[in-house]
Amino acid sequence: MKKIDIEPERIFCPQPMYAIGTYNEDNQPNFGVITWIGFNWNGSPHIMLGVGGSKKTKDNIQRTGTFSANLVSSDMLWLADYFGSTHGNDGIKNKVNYDYKNGSVLNVPVLDKSKWVFECEVDKTIELDGSHIFISKIKNIQIDEQFKNMNIEMIDLTKLDPVLYAPYNYFKIGEKLGDCGDWEKNISEFK
């Protein structure tokens, strides 16, 4: 396959969407949508959350050191789109009704509609030019009760139905293609 070179840009980074939950100074919930999330292991599971620019979400994380990461599924896409299209610095995001509760372990708001939620506590902050990376320990995971018997090592993403963001577009997962280790059954095209 012939390839061409293009300029490095921030526009192509397909990622699952998360509504990041924090509390404002007045204890009002604030949710902002962030897709710059990665995971790593440092003795325990951690989230690496990148937040750029001037955002209420970033201010709240810096102030409290905690946040929730609520996986966005297709049934809550337009709520997340509202959160991502409005700015917490302009006031409380309350034009759309939504239900939330406090985290089970940390003082963070958790969206009732999210099927998979991480409660996170910041371990380390890396300041970049206009953005911050919060390396945060996952202190608790809340999952929808329907997944209580799910094999945690073989999660079926079609059931969690995460929304993928590829700048300015939303997508959903269509089908499972196989399991890790299935390469021998499927590699004939490269033999």
> Residue 58 belongs to what domain range?
15-177
**Model pLDDT for residues 67-117, shown as the tens digit of each residue:** 999 999 999 999 999 998 888 767 776 788 899 999 999 999 999 999 999
Mean pLDDT of the chain: 90
Task: Please tell me the predicted confidence (pLDDT) of residue 180.
Answer: 78
Measure the CA–CA gap between 182 and 88, rounded to whole angstroms.
46
Task: Please tell me the predicted confidence (pLDDT) of residue 135.
Answer: 97
Structurally, how many domains does the chain consist of? 1
Residue 191 falls within a domain, yes or no? no
Task: Please tell me the predicted confidence (pLDDT) of residue 131.
Answer: 93
Where residue 103 sits, what CATH number does that domain have?
2.30.110.10
Indicate the DSSP class of residue 190: G
Instruction: Give 106-168 as a DSSP string.
Output: SS-EEETT-SEEEEEEEEEEEE-SSEEEEEEEEEEEEE-GGGTTS-TTS--HHHH-BEEEETT
Residue 6 falls within a domain, yes or no? no
Task: Please tell me the predicted confidence (pLDDT) of residue 185.
Answer: 79
